Amino acid sequence: MCCMSAMKRINARRIDLNLLIAFEAIYEEGSVTAASQRLSLTQSALSHALARLRELCGDPLFERHGKATVPTAKARSLIGPVQAALGQLERSLNQPVASSGRRTPRRLSIGLISLYEAAFVPQLVTRMGDDPAYEIEVAHYEPGKLEVHLESGRFDVAIQMQVPHSNQICSEVLINERLAILARADHPAAGDGFDLHTYLEQDHVLVIPNERWPDFISMEFERLRLARRIVLRCQDYWTACKAVAGSHLLLTAQRAALQEVMPAFPETGIWPMPRDMATVETSEVCLYWHVTRESNPDLRWLRGNLRAIFAALRHNHP
pLDDT digits (tens, 9 = 90+) for 171-190: 999 988 788 999 999 999 99
Distance in angstroms (rounded) separating the CA atoms of residues 52 and 271:
57
Distance in angstroms (rounded) separating the CA atoms of residues 214 and 252:
15
Report CA-CA distances (Å) from 84 to 20, 63, 138, 291.
Answer: 11, 24, 18, 15
Ramachandran area for residue 101 (φ above 0: left; ψ -120 to 50: alpha; else beta): left
Torsion angle of C-alpha atoms 109, 112, 116, 120, degrees rounded to 10: -40
What type of residue sits at position 112? L
Give the helix ranges, DSSP H, for the chain: 17-29, 32-39, 43-57, 73-94, 121-128, 146-152, 196-201, 216-223, 237-245, 255-261, 297-316
Are the C-beta atoms of residues 241 and 264 closer than 8 Å to each other? Answer: yes
Residue 139, SS3? strand
Which has the closest alpha carbon to 62: 16, 17, 85, 31?
A: 31
Of the pLDDT bands very low, low, confident and very high (cuts 50, 70, 90), residue 317 is: low
Q: pLDDT tens, 69-101?
A: 788 888 888 888 888 788 777 777 766 655 555
Task: Please give the mean pLDDT across all residues of the chain.
Answer: 84
Q: Is the pLDDT of residue 146 over 50?
A: yes
DSSP letter assigned to residue 274: P
So what's the pLDDT on residue 4?
43
Q: Is the pLDDT of residue 2 over 60?
A: no
Q: pLDDT tens, 255-290?
A: 877 887 888 899 999 999 998 887 766 678 899 999
Q: At what angle do helices 32-39 and 17-29 cross, to 10 degrees?
A: 120
Q: Is the pLDDT of residue 7 over 50?
A: no
More confident of the two residues 105 and 36:
36
So what's the pLDDT on residue 232?
95
So what's the pLDDT on residue 99?
52
Distance in angstroms (rounded) separating the CA atoms of residues 43 and 120:
41
Are the C-beta atoms of residues 249 and 189 closer than 8 Å to each other? Answer: no
Residue 179, SS3? strand
Mean pLDDT of 220-248: 90
Considering the entire predicted model, what is its pTM? 0.62
In sequence order, what are the residues at sequence separation of 6 or more whose Cβ sits closer than 8 angstroms to the Cβ of residue 93? Answer: none
Domains and CATH numbers, the chain: 12-91 (1.10.10.10), 106-176+283-316 (3.40.190.10), 179-272 (3.40.190.10)
Q: Is the pLDDT of residue 202 over 90?
A: yes
Distance in angstroms (rounded) separating the CA atoms of residues 142 and 214:
8
